[in-house]
Chains A and B, each alone.
Chain A
Amino acid sequence: MSTPLFPLAFGSEDWRLLSGLPVGFLFGFVLERGGFGNARRLAAQFYLRDMTVFKVMFTAILTAMMGLFGLEAAGLVDRSHLWINPTFLPAQAVGGFLLGVGFILSGLCPGTAVVSMASGRLDALVALLGIVVGIAGFAVGVDLFPSLEALYQAGTGQVSLLPDALGVPPLVLGLAILGVAVLAFLGAEKVETRFQGHGSPVEGTPSPRPRAEFAVAAALGAAGVLALVAARPPSPPPPPAVEPVAPLELAEALIRREAGLLILDLRGESAETERVPGAHPVRREEAAGLLAQIPAGSTVVIYDGDAAPTEVPPDWPRLLRYRGLQGGWEGWKREVLTPMPASHFSLEEQGRVARQNQISAYFSGASPAPPAAATAPPPAVITGGATPKKKGGGC
């Protein structure tokens, strides 16, 4: 399989670094348009008057999560090449709580402070200065206090993913998060409607339309479920096609004793006794077990009474090549077992007809000598690469 397209491989590290500018630009623009440049709007989240922070954050997480699932299932993303935050549980728990405290004090988080400052807000500029001071304080503190360093370094520092930590398959967890989020969105709409009268309104806040907004959330959820279900573990490739094979072509292949060829007579055991030489009588429903023992890459010729199936059942192995005998057994009888009166053909066709009659004589038993160089009579079982063997696993 070819290497996945993502993450992109840049010709030079410089280009990768520069790609941060447009991505960051969009990040900043979307945050601003989402209303995240306003400390009062952000703070309202913690008074249940405006749940925008929660709604935007969770929708974003779900979107990116489902996008990654889908692209991974399509073989476009190599997750092992993505940088994933290592887990330092105590530091992340304490740091998260403190960040929440700082968030409601300042009304901003670091990313939104950058956007708010870029919108001209002086409170955001002051908050950013505070952030620089806080980081410097930590850098000094972690050097001075061994207990702070112990907290900073505690934990595995390994990448730990929720599905592994909880012992739940990623897709199940993804769907569970999606379900919980949609319920939480519904709850958020209710809570907002109840509390929005409290406190002074913030300019630019869209007038709440709970029904419309929840409809969007529900549509999102539904789209997410569809995306996840559609993306279900690398969706199986389409069933292998059955290419037709003309009876004479098959006859020639038999005369050449072509290796890796298996013929299945799908009329089954009890039907007619006449078969294409070497064909295994087997009913269609029972063929999967036999086919499972055939080495990958073999060719399987299938035929029925007067036709050949145009598609194979889903449980037949995919790594085999399937060919359908044109006209089935009747076709074989008509084209291979019936000699042609040579006089009916033009001179140019005489050679072909002669060859056909040689083949016909051989397979119908009129001539014991196989045409061309082959000496043995038609083998009872076509052997070679197609010999049924013990399944070795792997495919």
Chain B
Amino acid sequence: MRTRETWNPYLAGVALGLVLLSAYLVAGNGLGATALPKRLLALLGNGLAPEWTRANPMLGGYVAEGASPLRNWMVFEVLGVMLGGFLGALTGGRLQVKVEKGPRVSVRARLIFALVGGIVMGFAAALARGCTSGQALSGGAVLATGSWVFMLMVFAGGYATAWFVRRQWT
């Protein structure tokens, strides 16, 4: 299938904003992404070491009072993101099993960068209690102070590091 062009960024932004707005209107909270891995880990931790998980400053809240960590709006929402992303890629002619990489970098190096970047992001999203979706986008729209600080720091971190890894992307 021929690859379709992506939407005009401003129109995509308006659409994304309306989706975010609908999350607040329907569920009373914003969007998220790292909630699913966090809660899966809470589930796993609860199975392996319930005491430790309950006492953990980060995971404890997800299993408090015997609640199931997966019984959460964000969990369903992230499952929806997978479906929506899949269907979007399918209909846009972009569904393709491959490694996305710059021309000057090997597949192996690309995957190592992805893994390391992922680990750093997982740590960061746990520390900041949210990621680009849960903090920057969702908190940004409701003018939450910490979320705006988070967002500016994401761009700061990205630009500060970009020069060092330019070979990967250009």
Contact = CB atoms under 8 A, between A and B. Distances in A.
A6 B158 CA distance: 36
Interface string B89-110: 1001011111111110000001
Interface of A: 6-8, 16-35, 37-40, 43-47, 51-52, 54-65, 67-68, 71, 77, 79, 81-89, 91-124, 126-139, 141-143, 149, 151-153, 155, 159-163, 165, 170, 173-174, 185, 198-200, 203-206, 212-213, 216-217, 220
A47 B158 CA distance: 10
A255 to B, nearest CB: 55
A99 B121 contact: yes
Nearest to A140: B56
Contact of B14 (A6, A63, A123): A63
B64 interface: no
Interface residues of A: mostly helix, strand, loop or mixed? helix
From A89, A126, A130, name the one whose CB has the most chain B CB atoms within 10 angstroms: A130
B144 A161 contact: yes
A115 B142 contact: no
Nearest to A136: B41
B114 A106 contact: yes
A120 B89 contact: yes
B151 to A, nearest CB: 7
B86 A58 contact: no
Given A119-B85, A131-B121, A68 B141 contact: yes
A40 B124 contact: no
B134 interface: yes
Size category, B interface: 35 or more
B111 to A, nearest CB: 5
Interface in B1-53: 3-34, 37-38, 40-41, 45, 52
Contacts of A99: 120-121, 124-125, 128, 131-132, 150, 153-154, 157
A27 to B, nearest CB: 5
A77 B170 contact: no
A28 to B, nearest CB: 3
Given A29-B87, A37-B89, A161 B31 contact: no
Nearest to A118: B85
Nearest to A148: B127
Contacts of A127: 114-115, 117-118, 121
A151 B58 CA distance: 12
Given A118-B89, A119-B96, A131 B13 contact: no
A68 B28 CA distance: 12
Contact of A217 (B10, B73, B94): B10
Given A30-B16, A109-B132, A114 B85 contact: yes
Given A56-B13, A111-B133, A81 B158 contact: no
B153 to A, nearest CB: 3
A65 B89 CA distance: 28
B18 A204 contact: no
A107 B80 contact: no
B85 A133 contact: no
10 contacts: A30-B16, A61-B17, A87-B146, A92-B150, A100-B155, A110-B121, A115-B89, A116-B85, A119-B86, A126-B114
Contacts of A173: 143
Contacts of B136: 57, 96
A67 B21 CA distance: 7
Nearest to A174: B143
Contacts of A39: 100-101, 114
A87 B144 contact: yes
From A18, A30, A38, name the one whose CB has the most chain B CB atoms within 10 angstroms: A30
Given A114-B33, A130-B115, A160-B145, A97 B153 contact: yes
B100 A121 contact: yes
A155 B146 contact: yes
From A31, A64, A112, name the one whose CB has the most chain B CB atoms within 10 angstroms: A64
A34 B113 contact: no
A203 B169 CA distance: 14
Given A24-B81, A120-B95, 14 more contacts: A25-B80, A25-B84, A43-B168, A60-B16, A62-B13, A85-B135, A86-B146, A98-B120, A100-B154, A105-B117, A115-B89, A131-B121, A162-B143, A216-B8
